Amino acid sequence: MAEMIDRRVAVVTGSTRGIGRAIAHELAAAGMNVVVNSSSERSLPAAEEVAAALTQEFGVETLPVAANVAVEAEANALIDAAMEAFGRVDVLVNNAGITRDGLAARMSDEDFDAVIDINLKGTFHCCRAAAKPMMKQRWGRIINMSSVVGVYGNAGQINYAASKAGVIGMTKTIAKELAKRNVTANAVAPGFIATDMTDALSDSQKEAITSRIGCGRLGEPADIANLVRFLASDEASYITGQVICVDGGMSL
């Protein structure tokens, strides 16, 4: 009979690429079984590819699941799938997020709502669904992806800034509600990280941003994933309700 290893289980939303994929990689490297999530069936092959690579590299179990976190039933189904496959959810990383940039005076309701629905409501849906098993287990880690834009604001991103500021309020609230059950909740606020999301910027925009970053470079997804791995560990048990900026000194 194969040896049974009692591994922790992590659900990482939006882990087909970018920061989410790097987080899935770090948590698998730390020995966790990982649920890899795509936003739809169309991008499920990308999640399947990430999942297979993690199993191959680290020998952990993985489960690719298509779920749009903005839709309550799909977010619930994502957590249910993790429970069915592994019997527990120890770590939830709410990483799924989009931008629909535009100046406030010209922004459509559609663009405002789309960003709020995924970034803020999607985070709520997954927190609510995962809180139950975490409270029962009396152990859990919730890590929500905010942004320096949610802390400081940014011209052209009224929807995104509101969603990411909302994530901070949500994180502090759930941290208070769950602390007694040994469940922590923290927000990570990245600066500018090199992913598809920031690839849309022109070279001159990137140069202008880099000139404001003390470290003199854009961040890498691994810069975020390393912190998430720590926050998800036993060592971080006394850290809760915090917002940690990872921005190379940009906000100083």
Scan for tokens 């990982």, then name that residue. Answer: 34
**How many residues of this chain bind ligand NAP (CB under 6 A)?**
32
Residue 178 in tokens: 């769950």
Taking contact as CB under 6 A, which single stretch among the options 33-41, 108-116, 135-143, 200-208 is the one that binds ligand NAP?
33-41
Selected binder of ligand NAP within 8, 9, 30, 39 (CB under 6 A): 39
Selected binder of ligand NAP within 69, 158, 187, 250 (CB under 6 A): 69
Taking contact as CB under 6 A, which single stretch among the options 95-103, 107-115, 172-180, 230-238 is the one that binds ligand NAP?
95-103
Q: Applying CB under 6 A, does 244 fall inside the site for ligand NAP?
A: no
Q: How far is CA 26 from the centre of its chain?
A: 13
With contact defined as beta carbons under 8 Å apart, do 175 and 184 qualify?
A: yes
What phi and psi values does residue 34 have, to the nearest 5 degrees?
A: -130, 130
Does residue 152 have an active-site annotation? no
Q: Applying CB under 6 A, does 14 fall inside the site for ligand NAP?
A: yes
Residue 215 in tokens: 């470290």
For 169-199, the three-class secondary structure string (H helix, E strand, C coil) is HHHHHHHHHHHHHCEEEEEEEECCECCHHHH
Q: Applying CB under 6 A, does 68 fall inside the site for ligand NAP?
A: yes
d(CA 115, CA 113): 5
Q: Which of 160, 185, 189, 193 is catalytic?
A: 160
Q: Applying CB under 6 A, does 144 fall inside the site for ligand NAP?
A: no
d(CA 35, CA 82): 7
Q: Hey, which residues between 182 and 201 contact ligand NAP (CB under 6 A)?
A: 190, 192-193, 195-198
d(CA 149, CA 115): 14
Active site residues: 160
Which residues lie near ligand NAP (CB under 6 A)?
13-20, 37-40, 43, 46, 68-70, 95-98, 118, 122, 145, 147, 190, 192-193, 195-198
